[in-house]
A and B are shown apart, each in its own frame.
Chain A
Amino acid sequence: MLIEFTLNYQPIAIEAPPDVTLLHLLRDHLNLTGAKEGCSVGECGACSVIMDGRLVNSCLVLAPQAHGSEIITIEGIHAPDGGPNDLQENFITYGAVQCGICIPGMVVAGEALLMRTLTPTRTEIRTALAGNLCRCTGYQQIVDAIEATAVQRRQAS
């Protein structure tokens, strides 16, 4: 079936079977491999994308459900020049990255939070990340990076 939606601010139309997940549509049909498949049951958050402003597990969304929606994936998050944006830069500065497999999902989850608020407490940041598993970092430097970005964006706005 033909699925039409906005992907990373660009309109897109793609022919795909109706029973594939949004995650597989992105990875297998659109060759966007930034969203990762960690569990396929909506537990790990490695496949996180932003759908109409909300953080979702793309492994739990059927591709046809994306029809007419606005989807932002990790590939749509960057500075205007294509390099890292402030959040991504802070992930590097604060040492938030280890193996990195959860990191696209963490960056997406961080952006979804910062779209809602620029004054999150550390507890609120932790709650916002509770659906994204990381086995390497213990989360602390990820929280540091998101908190620092919130402060910087607040000061800039």
Chain B
Amino acid sequence: MTELQYIGKPARRVDALEKVMGKAKYIADRKLPGMLHARCLRSEAPHALIKKLDVTPALAVPGVRAVITSEDFFEHSLFGFPVKDEYVLAYRKVRYVGEAIAAVAADTPEAALAGVQAIVCELEPLPGVFDMEHALDPDAAQVGPDRPDDQHPNFLDLLIVRQADPLAEIEQCAVKLDERYSVGPQEHAYIEPEGALAVPTREGGVLVYAPNQSPFVNYGVLAMVLDLPHNLVRVIQPPVGGSFGGKDDQIYQMSAQVAKLALLTGKPVRLVYSREESLISSYKRDPMHIRIRLGADSDGTLRAVKFEGLMDSGAYASESTFTAWRGSIHAMGAYRYNACAVDIKCVYTNNGYYGAFRGFGNTEVCAGIEQAIDELACAVGMDPLDFRLKNCLHVGDRTAHGQILTESVGLPDCIKTVRRLSDWDRKRAAYANQTGNIRRGIGVAALYHGTSLGAEGADYAGSTIAVEQNYSIDLTSGLTDYGTGSRTVFTLIAAEELGVSPDRIHMQRPDTDTAIESGPTVASRSTMLGGNAARVAADNLRQTLDYAAADLLGCELHQLVRSGEAYVGPDEEPVAWERVVDHAREMGLALSAHGKWTAPRIEWDHHHGTGTPYMAYHFASQVAEVEVDMRTGVVQVVNFWAVHDPGKVIFPQGAYGQVYGGVAQGLGYALMEQITYTNGYLQETNFESYLIPTSVDVPEITAQFVEAPFSKGPYGAKNIAEPSMVPAAPAILNAIYHATGKRVRDLPANLERVLLGHDLAKGGSAKACKLGLKT
């Protein structure tokens, strides 16, 4: 391969300028003439029947233009994928506090709130399920939908991995571990609360601006619940103020609400959440209870694992079955085993609802398995980093799923590199046997994370590319850049393929009328899937331009070389790229192309728990250094090293930014981010109680990449966004153990858990939720 011009080199993020100038228009910044403001009536009960719902008094409130309920939608607004159990507005029942029941559009936000308060809504309380351990008790109240089989209706799914008989294998092991861990829910806490803006069209359709992750999924849901033909629905993506998995279902619900209100009133309608409304009504990362049994030989050879997880899905399925599947695939960690069994069960409760969040199941299971591995290493009497090196996956190894890893396994190099960067061996020895009030510790975690959707579903993406009149290039993707930098990645890939400056390229935000449907923007799949689609599109366009250049220069295609953007033929006189474009136009060639890339087909056998879950994996190892105040339980992360194998790095500043940001979210998950439902009522309704890491909580982070290229990734790239977060929490927890000699097996490791080893009993009430829904 000739030397790369743009890929892996410093680059300017395509949307950075408008953002640093304060000119980027997010959904809350968009106003249209005559625009109405929407507001939802939300459930104040965790589980109840809707006995009466009369919206006519709201219509009499001055300024109120329309009110809608589930009756205004096709099939009462039922939607959801892969399990269809959610409503745009609640139908007959509410299943969590904050669930939307009706929506009002009015001239002002104040009139919309007055309209909401005028709605007559009588809820008949039902017994709730607030403890997932009892969700499947025979007498537990029914939260989930009716089932066709004899399973409990609160049972959602069971995901398994099977390789031989781990309990029999563990029985023969010299060193055994049997421990329980738990992780709590986590809020996405994007700084931009959710919103949507709908505009009715002359043709009787609707145009929706929504900061959604997956505009084409929104488009499909809108057409379905509004009962409109697809050509009357259009979704345009404004800048998104952070998502992390959180702007999926919730935004589709909001989009359908404002779309229906816009269709009824003939006016633009916008709905923007307050922070309280966002926290109370939106889905969160699922909590999980974990039991892990491990066995190893006395020389530290890891032999068997049995992992049992119970996962709360809350009131709706959302993405939980997929989350649990990804969790099950990664539950044993990136190690070789003779025997493995994973069972992750997910159940319905009335604790809000849980869905997609960065890491998508792997963040949860990694917190468990990477602590268990640490504990087992300790029991064997080995350094935890040596133990990981000894047992971790290499090229040629067979995973617990039965997949042979044939390429792109950078894990051993990641572990060795993080050992060197962090000065592991010296610090590990220096921090042993401390006695003071302030103690330091250093901990490690290893990771693998499957690329893209894997066996979850059809995995493809599309891109279009066209040369415009002024010689600029328009590039589209069906995937959204919600802050990750994927638009810059696509730009650099297209520039590299075409041999033109990235400055020529205008990478559009998705518009369902012009972009190609590319599946959902999830699973850190943009670089590989969207990047490959952009590469194919650009390559198709380049072939046309090469053909024109050869014609212009009177030579064969293979005689063409490039000098910067210019084409050079046998006579060695460079011809400007624009001149080639002009010639192509004179030849009547179409200077537009599209590209589609589909991932290789892979298979997973859900019944037997074996197969090839993902085409490739990201690998990483992170080390945290902490300082613990033994008098208060305060943990400060003082240093952090993150070494990742994302394959080839396309956009370095973006890739480093993903690592720094991922580590910060993992730090919050490990130490401070706590979501508490008391009888279904959320206690943390704004950032004064839901604490996320600030600039003084996050240490200076040293990031480095081990680029083990993947042959099917664009230029060898895999993924980075989610995996950067996943191992941070267990690395920090293992460091706390090293500092204090005490294990905190429940996340977050807050002051009480670090100092006392248990929670302090705290009261809780419905107050914060009820207030939050009224202001």
A residues adjacent to B (C-beta < 8 A):
27, 33-41, 43-44, 46, 73-75, 77-78, 84, 88, 91-104, 107, 122, 125-127, 129-143
A-B contact pairs, 21 of them (CB 8 A): A33-B22, A36-B192, A40-B275, A41-B688, A43-B686, A73-B22, A84-B21, A88-B21, A97-B16, A99-B190, A99-B241, A100-B16, A100-B19, A100-B241, A101-B190, A102-B191, A130-B694, A135-B244, A137-B664, A139-B660, A140-B660
Known: A92-B13, A92-B17, A130-B696. A100 touches B483 (CB 8 A): yes
Q: Which residue of A lies closest to B665 (CB)?
A: A135
Give the A-B contact count at a CB cut-off of 8 A.
170
Chain B count of residues within 8 A CB distance of the other chain: 56
Known: A94-B653, A137-B661. A99 touches B695 (CB 8 A): no
Cα(A131)–Cα(B190), bound, Å: 16
Name the contact of A99 in the complex, choosing from B28, B242, B686, B701 (C-beta under 8 A).
B242
B134 interfacial by beta-carbon distance below 8 Å: no
Q: Which residue of B lies closest to A139 (CB)?
A: B695
Cα(A50)–Cα(B29), bound, Å: 21
Within 8 A of A (CB), among B1-35: 10, 12-13, 15-17, 19-26, 28-29
A101 and B192 contacting across the interface, CB-CB below 8 Å: yes
Within 8 A of A (CB), among B619-659: 652-654, 656-657, 659
Cα(A74)–Cα(B692), bound, Å: 24
Cα(A80)–Cα(B495), bound, Å: 32
B17 and A38 contacting across the interface, CB-CB below 8 Å: no
Cα(A73)–Cα(B660), bound, Å: 28
B192 and A39 contacting across the interface, CB-CB below 8 Å: no
- Can you name 10 extra interface pairs (CB under 8 A) apart from A74-B22, A101-B192? A36-B26, A41-B687, A88-B20, A92-B13, A95-B657, A98-B484, A100-B16, A100-B241, A138-B657, A138-B663
B368 interfacial by beta-carbon distance below 8 Å: no
Cα(A30)–Cα(B95), bound, Å: 42
A136 and B274 contacting across the interface, CB-CB below 8 Å: no
A39 and B686 contacting across the interface, CB-CB below 8 Å: yes
B698 interfacial by beta-carbon distance below 8 Å: yes
A114 CB, nearest partner CB in chain B, Å? 15
B191 and A44 contacting across the interface, CB-CB below 8 Å: yes
Query: Given the complex, which residues of B lie within 8 Å of A73, measured CB to CB?
Result: 22
* Those 6 A-B pairs whose CB atoms lie nearest each other, nearest first: A95-B653, A34-B22, A99-B483, A101-B241, A100-B19, A138-B660
Cα(A141)–Cα(B25), bound, Å: 23
B305 interfacial by beta-carbon distance below 8 Å: no
The interface residues of chain A, by DSSP majority, are classed as: loop
B327 interfacial by beta-carbon distance below 8 Å: no
A132 and B695 contacting across the interface, CB-CB below 8 Å: yes
Name the contact of B653 in the complex, choosing from A99, A133, A141 (C-beta under 8 A).
A141
Cα(A130)–Cα(B17), bound, Å: 24
Within 8 A of A (CB), among B201-237: none
A46 and B191 contacting across the interface, CB-CB below 8 Å: yes
B193 interfacial by beta-carbon distance below 8 Å: yes
Q: Which residue of A lies closest to B243 (CB)?
A: A99
One digit per residue, 1 when the CB lies within 8 angstroms of any chain A CB and 0 when it does not, for chain B 596-615 equals: 00000000000000000000
Cα(A129)–Cα(B695), bound, Å: 6
Cα(A138)–Cα(B728), bound, Å: 13
A68 CB, nearest partner CB in chain B, Å? 24
Within 8 A of A (CB), among B484-513: 484-485
A126 and B695 contacting across the interface, CB-CB below 8 Å: yes
Name the contact of A141 in the complex, choosing from B12, B239, B657 (C-beta under 8 A).
B657
A101 and B242 contacting across the interface, CB-CB below 8 Å: yes
A23 CB, nearest partner CB in chain B, Å? 11
A135 and B242 contacting across the interface, CB-CB below 8 Å: yes
Query: Given the complex, which residues of B lie within 8 Å of A75, measured CB to CB?
Result: 22
B25 and A92 contacting across the interface, CB-CB below 8 Å: no
Known: A36-B26, A101-B242. A135 touches B692 (CB 8 A): yes
Cα(A69)–Cα(B466), bound, Å: 51
Query: Given the complex, which residues of A lie within 8 Å of B661, measured CB to CB?
Result: 98, 134-138
Known: A38-B275, A97-B13. A136 touches B657 (CB 8 A): yes
B85 interfacial by beta-carbon distance below 8 Å: no
Cα(A146)–Cα(B130), bound, Å: 47
